[in-house]
Structure 1
């Protein structure tokens, strides 16, 4: 399990422990009141075992806080979905993963994204997507013949960005080093860089690049904020998701700090132009 998921479970266990202590119940008294074994209570409170929803109901009633049952069950379900294993998700194929996200992107009025490794998915060109998803298929031992369908599914979301009617708005903060991370050949990167340059001129897009030396906050995991409803961050072996308001507020704060480090407009386009020139030089040394 990821550190994030493990930490969330430990935090939830401490929350339950505090309820028991606030009620003035010892471990043995609490075990008698709930019918839960002492060992299970200890494991739950230390985050080594996750309670069932029925456990939570018993816990709240025994502590005299039945009014908090719905609240704690909602948090419980949130923690359960915070960490999803990639391999479990990818069993249905990369196309399924891409298609499943379509509705989320369509209903999001403002998407804020920070990327330090690759171009954000909705900004990727077909060739770039193909290169990235081929790497992902090879890494996770997935069928390569499914990549084309996944490319099509991801690319289909791009119309939300390019139509520019104000329904879907985007704020991207990207490390400038992403421009020099090659996925695909020179032609693929040229098309991708040209598309990024064009995206800086779209009325519903704010595209910022963080140049070397501009950082005033440490680098962290890449993340996407969908309105004020969901944060998603993909890592090597899983996907962190949360809709807890306190978590979202933290990522919003981090995004604002990162955004303040970025350059926009002509300055961003100059960084892209420089990389296009470097690309040309590498082809014709």
Structure 2
């Protein structure tokens, strides 16, 4: 059996749907001798390893300009007038040049992360639910007052077996063991029953529900609706664990109260970043 391969995640910004499909296909065909890539869905909660943006789209450039200071994800522009200081490839996109540029940018990211670690600093994931529309202009205390801490409850995993629950619990326990917040805990529960999941969310505090969309007998959208319709569940985050065979419906997911998705297999770094974003897990 082959070990799961965790490709580098790419966030596409500002492209028309047809070009998104084209770029996704090119990235999926990256040579096996180099990095592999995966384009994130618009509703994905995963932190991208790098951004690929339309250099001729003013809205895309404005969004990139509003990324938090110190963001270490490299940016590659496709097209544009050539005036940007960021690395740019012309249209039409040459596959070989694309793979070479992305590999170079990933090397830069590795070096930047190593330098950050040497300084004793940590990455802080973006906690906003929507892209920034403009740069922050208020004092930091203003935004601190706007923040709400996560509800104090468990992580509940709905899956066909308990293996993923055990892995998540180990990841959380490892992170909490190095936490500067003594006494902070985050229990991780599991069930394979829709009824039990709804009952647990009704009877006990639950901060995050993770639903494996491949679990047999679980209708993911209906389950999310049932959980979110309960009193006190407005701040319970529901996310889907999605495989390649699952067709994620954004409109239906939002109607059901789904916060977003994580693509399987989920690397530990993406689990940690998601928990930091949704549960304030210590950095």
Q: Same fold (TM over 0.5)?
A: no
Q: Which has the larger radius of gyration?
A: 1
Q: TM-score, normalization: structure 2?
A: 0.25
Q: TM-score, normalization: structure 1?
A: 0.25
Specify which structure has the higher proportion of helix: 1
